[in-house]
Structure 1
Amino acid sequence: MNDVLFEELLNEDESATLDFKRDQYPFVGATDEQKSELLKDIVAFANAWRRTDAYILIGVEDVKGGRSKVIGAASHPDDATLQQFVNSKTQRPLTFLYEVFASEGVQVGIIQIPLQERPVFLKHDFGKLKKNLVYVRRGSSTGIADPDEISKMGSAMALERNEPTLELQFALPKTRTEMGTALSIESEIVELPKTDQIPSQRMASIIDFNNNPDFYREMAQYIRLTSILREVGFTLKNTGSILAARAHLQIIAERKDHVLIVDESRYPKFPQRQRTIPMFLPNMGPNRISVDNHGNQWSLSLSFGSLQPKASTWSNGVFYVGALKPCQLNLEAHIYADNLSEPIKVPLSIDIETKQRKLDMKELEGAPSGV
């Protein structure tokens, strides 16, 4: 900071690049709620739509339509401590600088936030702030970016680097239905009859050795599991003018006991009335979604292949997700490509509600034959 720039800032109005704070942010010895105000402002300016550095002037009282008044701040946080605090909370490093600047016989705190990769959001809830929400400075106030705005944030940086700009959404590939980045589904929790109340399937004749006596019990379990799960796929669009070479999607998240996520190869098999050799062939073609478990984590991967400018592609098949109780899954998708200098990160969410019902024996006995 220098005297000329400082004077220019004092004569500007608050905007997407400037904020005045009469009082210092609570920090040393403050509660998480108090500290979250400082964190929110820094993150919001990092996500702001601007073409130049942003500044927060602490110890300066805003004067609308005139030169803001320099009051000074009695204390200042250590820059290294502040850096560690902010960057321990965000999903990617956030570049900023805290500087103590002398003016008019007092000391003013200046937070400078340069242009950088967006979006920036919190990995975990903190104080009043929620994880995975993208706070953004708009004019003289702070709001929350919607999925379209978040996608454009990444696209703007990609254009400057001459790289492909990609937009990811949940989708239903069979019907070519786009579903956005925030999905709401409902799992049905089916209460089964007691095992001894489910009859065995009778043999058609005394020589019908292929008859499956466990058909109804297997069907009950099939209905229970498939009622929980809902199918979901993906679509990827290249909105820019540069080819995306060998685009690949990956999601890694923590496993939860009440959440079920499987790919097509692990989806429950339809029961057979007759005992036969299983002929199920999993979808092994290109653009197939694969879900794997690794200790306390699960991962989803999908290769889209190369994608021409302005073109869209769809996953070949789906994965299945559901839960035993209401919950929200907050995920971060990483999109890789040979000509991306770093992956594009896309926040995704799945809100799962549940409802209960009992399995009626008539429904079970009227189940269709397997194929």
Structure 2
Amino acid sequence: MTDELLTALRYKSEGTDIDFKSAQYRFIGGNDEDKAEMLKDILAIANAWRDGTGYILLGFKDQRPHPAAIVGITASIDDAKMQQFVHSKVKPKLTFKYEEHLHEGKTVGVITIPKQKRPFYLSHAYGKLKSNVVYVRRGSSTDEAEPPETAAMMQADAGRKDLRLGLSVLAPNNEKLDTTFALNYLKFPERLPDYESPPSETGHFALSLAISSVWHDNKNFWRQYAEYVRVQAALIEMKFILHNHSDVQLSNAKLEMSAEPLDGQGFQMISGADLPNEPETQWSSLHGIRSLPEILDRQNTQMVVDNSGRSPVCRVRFGSLLPGEEGRSSDTVAIVPLGPGRLRLRLRILGAEIAVPEESEHVLEATGDVRVLDVDGLGEIRGKSLLERYQLTGK
């Protein structure tokens, strides 16, 4: 659940797929009738006639025709306890999830209920709820479904099947990503000198004067080259393929990847498009100006590395995947360790039809030594052949 989606849901009116609640359910310390109210709302959304995911938003006050007001909640509910309670009452097993978020400075709760096989009902009466009765949301109200409507639900959802997904983590050459990497961790003096090109010969003074009006020394060359070499020497680059092996469509599919250093070492996460290129010693007045296609590609990218939080997160959007279809990340993402040690990658697959994200972990081990280089060392690296540079990176 993102702030963008919460904002979008605020602007929707209550209906078969959304229900606003200004206060938290009295789940902790509540009686049977209090808890039955929560059950009824969840059942009604789960049985509703809708095209996509349904939501119950807690801490939002409906004020149609204006967007729902954010009033926030003061009590918290543990998702695991809510899951246990609902599963003990509802038949068949209902897939949903509960989350709490800080949205515009206030805590709100979100119950997400993907579209799935209906009908759902209580096996035993509870509170004011009857057993074996199908509660359904119609518009912004809840009602008991008639037997023909219950039969229609079963017929409409007869072909609905469970999702079966697969995620491949690959190297840029499309081979399976290794788990161990021999790398070099380069460090440089705090201050590297400005770059100055060798003086031109006297006979070429006029030519060099004309060229200098267009081309200039890149004074930051050594600093840029140090960053380029440092990243290349400790680069772990990867891309992703999400496979939909199921017989139903997966909508709004997204992958989130975070990294956790297990040995206390620092690291960077960089998208492939933002990896430093090998710099030039001179550049023209047009240096750094992107073409229109490059600008449009960056605006439409499906992969983003977010470094605004406590730890970086890579988000990949795959859109909708038809049965049997696969989605490929539009770019690579790089992990750049600052020293040897293990890194745990945490991956989460999210989608409109997935109530609880599918999670997996990969542990990578980076070996190698820390090396200190000055400008002379950089010059030696620059003078090496491509093969020697390749060996420097340890790849």
Taking structure 2 as the reference length, what is the TM-score of the superposition? 0.46
Greater per-residue helix proportion: 2
Taking structure 1 as the reference length, what is the TM-score of the superposition? 0.48
